[in-house]
């Protein structure tokens, strides 16, 4: 039997988050809670791809820091946009 490895689990998690975000966005009016939830899941998706698909977890720490900062910064702007 083929082993269900770490990559497969992360892939399944990413797909699940994508569908749940879409259902939230489609099914409910855009409240601050939904916006913040979506922003946090976007951040998580980005960090998973950076660390496990791009394999930066064990790579150059400056490159990893740069990519992670990008994925903290823009989802934070989404959260910030709920205040205006």
Positions that interact with another protein (CB under 8 A): 7-8, 11, 14-15, 18-19, 21-22, 24-26, 29-30, 35, 38-39, 42, 45-46, 49-50, 52-56, 58-64, 66-67, 70-71, 74-75, 77-78, 81, 84
CA distance 18 to 72: 18
Distances, alpha carbon 60 to alpha carbons 49, 55, 65, 67, in Å: 16, 10, 9, 11
Q: At closest approach, how far in Å is the CB of 1 from another protein?
A: 17
């Amino acid at each position: 039997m083929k082993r269900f490895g770490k990559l497969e689990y992360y892939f399944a998690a990413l797909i699940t988050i994508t569908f749940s975000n879409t259902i939230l966005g489609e099914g409910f009016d855009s409240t601050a809670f939904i916006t913040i939830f979506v922003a946090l899941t976007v951040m998580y998706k980005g960090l998973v791809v950076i660390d496990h698909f791009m394999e930066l977890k064990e790579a150059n720490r400056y490159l990893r820091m740069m990519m992670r900062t990008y994925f903290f910064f823009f989802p934070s702007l989404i959260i910030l946009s709920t205040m205006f």
